[in-house]
């Protein structure tokens, strides 16, 4: 039964990893950008929410609702002002730009908030749970995070497949020049994609901040988990991202059940195995 509980907990943590990976997958699938600042943006969202709560006394749920659209706007502006120019210079330029952004964000957070660890107080919602069986308990926050991950992925998929802007976004990811010829503005479309990516990473950062402590330096570790989930599931595949997050979460949870020292190593090993034997990912050949 301990093994079954490990599977359940791994499945739930996989939802959090999928949330972290969704924006990374979307930006790569649409613009072929690997955003090295992705994890740091999640940390920025956590600190922003913490600052709003401390400075205004607003309830946590209201701050969560406000932070996500703010990050969507930030994403649009970042794409139009910073990333768009680097796209013209090739993939190496975007890597360097996002790497520079990562360094800047870490140092700004360190200067403003210091190196102390923080957490968002989610109250009984973050710490409470219910029993599924005598040996399996499910946390309210963990379950909500998983449901939210599925909801976000479903919403993005419906947006991409059933709206004109979404179809234009997919067309731009396949052939930007042709999409421009039929009336699409690739700069605006890429801005929308980045806005969605930033909104999803903000959600992931806020969910993580309620379940664990954070500090200005943990962004790269969040990036690693997101990157591993994307690669395991399949580059550019949204549902592959969910599958990759679940595989990574279950592997870590089962590894921890065998030996706590194997928690992170088990996830890294499954990532390496996928790269070696199925580099296209578990779900291949499907665009976002």
Whether 262 shows a pLDDT value over 50: the answer reads yes
pLDDT interval class at 288 (50, 70, 90): very low
Q: Which residue has the higher pLDDT, 199 or 135?
A: 199
Better-scored residue on pLDDT, 58 or 207:
207
Q: pLDDT value at position 272?
A: 95
Instruction: Report yes or no: 6 and 218 within 8 Å, Cβ to Cβ.
Output: no
Please report, for residues 159, 253, 265, the alpha-carbon distance to residue 260 in angstroms, rounded to integers and kept in the order given: 41, 9, 10
9-20 per-position pLDDT tens digit: 999 999 999 999
**% pLDDT > 90, the chain:** 64
pLDDT-derived band at 65 (thresholds 50, 70, 90) equals very high
**Tally of helices (H runs) and strands (E runs) in the chain:** 13, 2
pLDDT at 286 over 50: no
Tokens 């591993």 sit on residue? 228
The separation between the first and the last C-alpha atoms of the chain, rounded to the nearest angstrom, is 37
Contacts of 119 by beta carbon, 8 Å cutoff, 6+ apart? 209, 210, 212, 213, 214
**What are the φ and ψ backbone dihedral angles of 134, each rounded to 5 degrees?**
-60, -30
Q: Among candidates 240, 223, 280, which has minimal Cα distance to 98?
A: 223
Q: Looking at residues 149-165, what average pLDDT do you find?
A: 92
The pTM score is: 0.91
- In this prediction, residue 287 carries a pLDDT of 45
| Confidence band of 3 (pLDDT split at 50, 70, 90) | confident
Q: Which residues of 179-212 are buried (b: 16+ CB within 10 A; e: fewer)?
A: beeeebebebbbbbbbbbbbbbbbbbbbbbbbbe
The string of pLDDT tens digits covering residues 172-183 is 776 666 666 666
CB of 106 closer than 8 Å to CB of 219: yes
Q: Which domains does the chain have, with CATH numbers?
A: 2-112+139-277 (1.10.3470)
Residue 198 structure tokens: 């930033």
The pLDDT confidence band at residue 196, using thresholds 50, 70 and 90, is: very high
């Amino acid at each position: 039964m301990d093994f079954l509980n490990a599977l359940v907990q791994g499945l739930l943590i996989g939802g959090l990893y999928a949330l972290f990976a969704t924006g990374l997958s979307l930006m790569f699938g649409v613009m072929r950008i690997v955003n090295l600042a992705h994890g740091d943006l999640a940390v920025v969202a956590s600190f922003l929410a913490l600052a709003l709560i401390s400075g205004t006394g607003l309830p946590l749920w209201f701050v969560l609702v406000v932070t996500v659209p703010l990050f969507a706007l930030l994403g649009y502006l970042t794409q139009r002002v910073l990333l768009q120019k680097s796209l013209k210079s090739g993939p190496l330029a975007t890597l360097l730009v996002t790497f520079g952004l990562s360094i800047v964000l870490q140092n700004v957070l360190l200067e403003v908030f210091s190196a102390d660890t923080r957490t968002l107080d989610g109250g009984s919602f973050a710490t409470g749970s219910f029993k599924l069986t005598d040996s399996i308990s499910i946390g309210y926050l963990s379950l909500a995070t998983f449901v939210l991950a599925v909801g976000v992925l479903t919403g993005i998929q419906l947006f991409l497949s059933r709206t004109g802007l979404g179809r234009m976004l997919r067309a731009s990811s396949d052939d930007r020049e042709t999409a421009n010829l039929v009336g699409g503005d690739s700069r605006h479309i890429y801005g929308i994609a980045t806005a969605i990516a930033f909104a999803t990473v903000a959600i992931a950062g806020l969910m993580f901040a309620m379940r664990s402590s954070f500090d200005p330096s943990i962004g790269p570790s969040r990036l690693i988990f997101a990157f591993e989930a994307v690669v395991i599931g399949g580059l550019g595949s949204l549902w592959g991202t969910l599958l990759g997050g679940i595989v990574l979460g279950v592997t870590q949870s089962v590894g921890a059940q065998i030996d706590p020292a194997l928690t992170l190593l088990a996830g890294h090993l499954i990532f390496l195995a996928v790269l070696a034997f199925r580099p296209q990912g578990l779900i291949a050949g499907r665009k976002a």
